[in-house]
């Protein structure tokens, strides 16, 4: 399962780390975010050897949401070696996230 991280965790596990990270920017009050949650959790478990998966609550980590210009949730951002390489906005099926991950690796 993907854990909810704060800015400090984000810096050490995404920004300053080599490899691929998939980050779900979400809000607890967001319907599509709540639909994406179980899908993201399943994929995080299935693909845990391929990438680091985590979630950022935009209400708890506003500075990260602002830094990455997240204005719509859910927003899933794919990072490689600490740099953003792709982003998707809105609910998406597990296959779409997995396909994006395959194209980045």
CATH match for 3-104 among 3.40.30.10, 3.40.190.290, 3.90.1150.10, 3.40.640.10? 3.40.30.10
Tell me which of 33, 65, 73, 97 is the catalytic residue: 33
The pLDDT value recorded for residue 14 is 96
- Report DSSP state, residue 92: -
Q: Look up 79 and say whether it is catalytic.
A: no
Helices 94-104, 31-46: axis angle to 10 degrees equals: 50
The tens place of each residue's pLDDT in the chain, 105 residues long, gives: 689 999 999 999 999 999 999 999 999 999 999 999 999 999 999 999 999 999 999 999 999 999 999 999 999 999 999 999 999 999 999 999 999 999 998
Structure tokens at 32: 């599509």
Q: Look up 53 and say whether it is catalytic.
A: no
The pLDDT value recorded for residue 44 is 96
Q: What are the strands, taking DSSP E only, across 3-73?
A: 3-4, 20-26, 52-57
The pTM of this model reads: 0.96
Tell me which of 4, 7, 30, 39 is the catalytic residue: 30
């Amino acid at each position: 399962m993907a854990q909810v991280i704060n800015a400090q965790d984000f810096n050490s596990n995404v920004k300053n780390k080599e490899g691929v990270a998939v980050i779900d920017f979400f809000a607890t009050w967001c319907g599509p975010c709540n639909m994406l949650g179980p899908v993201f959790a399943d994929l995080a478990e299935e693909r845990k050897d391929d990438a680091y998966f985590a979630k950022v609550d935009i209400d708890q980590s506003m500075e990260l949401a602002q830094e990455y210009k997240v204005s719509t949730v859910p927003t899933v951002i794919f990072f490689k070696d600490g740099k953003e390489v792709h982003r998707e906005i809105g609910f998406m099926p597990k296959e779409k996230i997995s396909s994006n991950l395959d194209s980045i690796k």
